Amino acid sequence: MSFRDWVVFAMLAACATSACGGKSREQRGAGGDDETGGRGGNSGATGGTPASGGTSTTGGAPATGGTWESDGSVPIYLYDANNYQLTTGLSIEVVDTAPGVDLDICWTDVVTNLTCGPVDPQSDIDAIALIGFQGLSMEEIQETVGRGELDQSAISAFAQWDSDHQSTCTKLSSLSVFGSIFDIATEYVENANRNYLFIAGGSVTPGAAAQSMVFVRPVSTSMNTRVDIPPGCGIQDSSTGLGEPVHVPSNPPWMVYWNNLTRDGQGNPIQFGSLDLLRLSFFADATLTELEERIGELDRIATASWELDISGSDGASLAQARNLIDGQAFSGFQREEPGVWLLMLTCSGCFTPAPPVVVVLES
């Protein structure tokens, strides 16, 4: 198999579990059942029937096409209008190096990720990847990567090293594509039409879970043979807008369905197969504005959180989610203090750490 074939194979493997700009699975339409058309409409709308993409409210009779659960409970539907919107800009550092040489690549300085969360460079970085882009400027690469996408047609080279978690440096010659040798002399060369990006990732899935990144530019005038990947904090500049809140019923099992979503928070076609974890979090005394400003810190600032594996599902019962501290099942939205409830659907193998879905819940 040629190196180019390995590149395509590697990127297809990445896109099988992440949002790489490809088409999502066929969306289930409103009005059918789970297998043939999804759960249609909105149960319990009280001010008219919301169109697809509207707010999922509860209480009262089901809207046209809606359904009750078999136990008589009211289902909760998520639509695009409920999902948050994340706009991301990247300012990636550029390092000039000598071309065609066996570089030292170090990630010792990667002590924060793109959302400014803490990183242990030795234990938290699982892979170092080098991606070569053909025909895209650095500005264009920053734009596409900022959207959480990888344009397969522009990938001209790909190599990766899976960390042994024993050190924070490796050699360029240690990178490969599923065992295929990365030919430094022919693949890492000065080329005005090619740009290279090193990614320090928190996953061994090719090109996934980027924690930090740096452009490298092989130029004949440089004698530099070392690349230090910088901290992730400061590379990404984001703005966030939370969507229309979703009203949730008072009683369990709080069945939530997300098969009516068509896009993720960055506007990409949603990859249902990549969603693998549901997180329900409460933020005491927080406001929506505060959470929008700290969207990258939600895991760290939550007062309480419950999680549930949702791999392969398009719906789940919140009553099955387990508290991260004591392991107890979620028992209700009633709290003594005021605050905000957020429901997140996350993707451990996606290119960026931003969750594809963040929704405000109101009880």
Q: Is residue 345 part of a domain?
A: yes
More confident residue, 334 or 34: 334
Q: What is the model's pLDDT at position 279?
A: 97
pLDDT at 36: 33
| 13 and 105 belong to one structural domain | yes
Give yes or no: residues 150 and 247 share one domain. no
- 99 and 230 belong to one structural domain: yes
- In tens, the pLDDT along 52-93 reads 333 334 433 333 334 556 666 789 999 999 999 988 789 999
pLDDT at 162 over 90: yes
Report the pLDDT averaged over residues 152-181: 89
Average pLDDT, the chain: 81
What is the per-residue pLDDT for 68?
Answer: 58
Q: Given 237, 270, 293, which residue is the final one in a domain?
A: 237
Helix residue ranges per DSSP H, the chain: 3-15, 138-146, 184-187, 288-293, 298-301
pLDDT bracket for residue 7 (50, 70, 90): very low
- Shared domain for 230 and 350, answered yes or no, is no
Give dist(CA 363, CA 245) in Å, integer.
10
pLDDT of residue 71: 67
The residue among 206, 237, 268 that closes a domain is 237
Do 162 and 305 lie in one domain? The reply is no
30 is a domain residue: no
pLDDT at residue 180, as a whole number: 83
Determine the pLDDT at residue 116: 84
Q: Which domain holds residue 189?
A: 3-21+88-237
Residue type, 196: Y
Does residue 231 register a pLDDT over 50? yes
Are 222 and 95 in a shared domain? yes
pLDDT of residue 70: 64
Same domain, 196 and 267: no
Q: What pLDDT shows up at residue 151?
A: 66
User: For 19-44, what is the mean pLDDT?
Assistant: 35
pLDDT at 123: 95
Q: pLDDT above 70 covers what percent of the chain?
A: 77
Number of domains, the chain: 2
pLDDT for residue 351 is more than 80: no
The yes-or-no verdict on residue 34 having pLDDT over 50 is no
Q: What sections of 164-276 are H helices per DSSP?
A: 184-187
What's the pLDDT at 46?
34
Residue 47 predicted with pLDDT over 60: no
Express each pLDDT in 279-288 by its tens digit: 999 999 999 9
Residue 310 inside a domain? The answer is yes
- In this prediction, residues 145-149 reach a mean pLDDT of 75
Res 10: pLDDT? 41
Q: Kind of pairing, strands 255-257 and 76-77?
A: parallel
Give the lowest-confidence range in 46-50, 112-116, 220-224. 46-50
Same domain, 228 and 260: no
Residues 162, 16: one domain?
A: yes
Q: How confident is the model at residue 181 (pLDDT cuts 50, 70, 90)?
A: confident
For the segment 246-276, what is each residue's pLDDT rounded down to a tens digit? 999 989 999 999 999 999 998 889 989 999 9
200's tokens: 């320090």
Distance CA 211, CA 118 (A): 10
Question: In the predicted model, is pLDDT for residue 111 greater than 80?
Answer: yes
pLDDT, tens only, 86-106: 887 899 999 999 999 999 999
Residue 338, by phi and psi: left (phi above 0), alpha (psi -120 to 50) or beta?
Answer: beta
Is 46 exposed, middle or buried (CB count within 10 Å of its CB: 0-12, 13-18, 19+)? exposed
219 and 307 assigned to the same domain: no
Residue with tokens 């706009």: 87
Domain endpoint, select from 216, 237, 258: 237
The answer to whether the beta carbons of residues 344 and 227 sit under 8 Å apart is no
Of the two residues 154 and 131, the one the predictor is more confident about is 131
Whether residue 113 is found in the same domain as residue 134: yes
Q: Give the best-scoring range by mean pLDDT among 145-149, 227-231, 293-297.
A: 227-231
- Looking at the fold, whether 193 and 272 belong to one and the same domain comes out as no
pLDDT value for 150: 67
Q: Is 192 exposed, middle or buried (0-12, 13-18, 19+ CB in 10 A)?
A: exposed
